[in-house]
Structure 1
């Protein structure tokens, strides 16, 4: 066995010493199959592993992750892992698994050539070691590599036991695992938006009335992203940014939304009156002024900034790792930034719920405005899309 190190001062690597990350990359480049069992991963390291697997045309890959089923998994990391697992399964090369039987904290790597394990690494390094980030830049790891056959076989056998149904399950078949919501930073620094502590949100929640409205979110299915007849993405609540630019020189902002509500809802008793501002408090603790506008009272939006509602909804999807904000929607010819039904399904929310409270808040001009709770939720089974 030879030790592997981190190259972090004052313990920088010396001549003849190798880093953990470089050795893993070297072993993968000389392998046609890899099997890994670690406690933790990162979103960036999952993406890096997938890139390496593709670059070196790895024919078989199994990644087993050990701690998140019990502790909960950050949602962006989870959705990234699910997407990569789907890619590997579809290609017939492998899968990502989650340990369920217990909390597994080990870090094991086995490298194969022609169906024979040729080397293995054991030590302190989780998968994050293959992709340096701010969080692990100063984290020192020590591992060891072995090419001794009996040791390689023993490590490989343990990895395969962890990947067996007795210990783990494929990530897309996992149920009951807590997902940890990521913080939506898209509203940070917006002058007309404030953030409340969760205790204050819960206090307003206790003052909800029976006046409540379900606002379905209209988006196309993945297969409909390129249907440009004006009946799909341009009339979608969240994808109006893909409509024709208002200016020949400037595309619409990706966060722009036009949240249109059907007459079936706007004509119900208690629905907010046209052009009368009120405060909304979102379920994740943001507050801003909103109003209803346009013919038939059909547009629901934030006051003074048409991007705020988009920053709230699309920002949450981006924080969850389901979509990446697009700098120029007109250049996004593959529509990778278009919100789809599949994205909402993966997030577990496809509707807004607007509920009035019996409370009021004072605005900057001294006016006392009604307070409504705005939630991003899953539609119940009896809720259909509104026309």
Structure 2
């Protein structure tokens, strides 16, 4: 079955039935389409791990639990069931979750048209290729909701002892974020892009939600105030961390040692303002509600800049 979402309750409820299927020599695969892109609770993630181990220990030829990792995420609901030597296909709106099966008003129907059955079969097989999804055991650093929230608190930003004094004589350049709607899987939204896939091992490491790398337009990189290379960033809320610009025209603006540091600063401000929730994309509407769609960089020296957002 392929489902955008699932839940720990339904996994526990059906675990015994799934165990019987695989222990009797049957095959079982659960594809979770949205987990990597929206995160999972630790409880649901652990239940999926238990189910995957149960399935593969009984029958290593089974697909087990798989996650879609290559965007776009899968939001559909497809059930392929073999009953009395006949393959049955169902599609609709019901996730493999307690709400989807028992609580919400949903609609799911059997597919009977042969052409549609063939298309559905081909689509399922495509979803199960390693280029689109991977087994639970092949996905490292999975975005656990509780862990991401806890890690936000663990970031030890260095505090400045004396805040730089900014006045009208200090040159500055504005880094526009206005193109964010055209950068839905990069820039401030790298989390929704393709994870890091090791073709040799098959291991996938999803992007962290706080990982960002601001892509600066060429016109701005030609501004003499714009820094090329390493620098120390002082922020308008009293933080300091190392940054750099790199790549063609030095258009990639990032925190130096960890891409998440700049992301924690930018997204942290958006969260504090109440315009962005965990695992949501940053959009032009987000920035409009925040009240600013650019980062202003004041040049304090050749290696020190003051960031205002």
Question: Under a length normalisation based on structure 2, what TM-score does the superposition of the two structures give?
Answer: 0.46
Query: Which structure has the larger Rg?
Result: 1
Q: When you count helix as a share of all residues, which structure comes out higher?
A: 2
TM-score w.r.t. length of structure 1 = 0.37
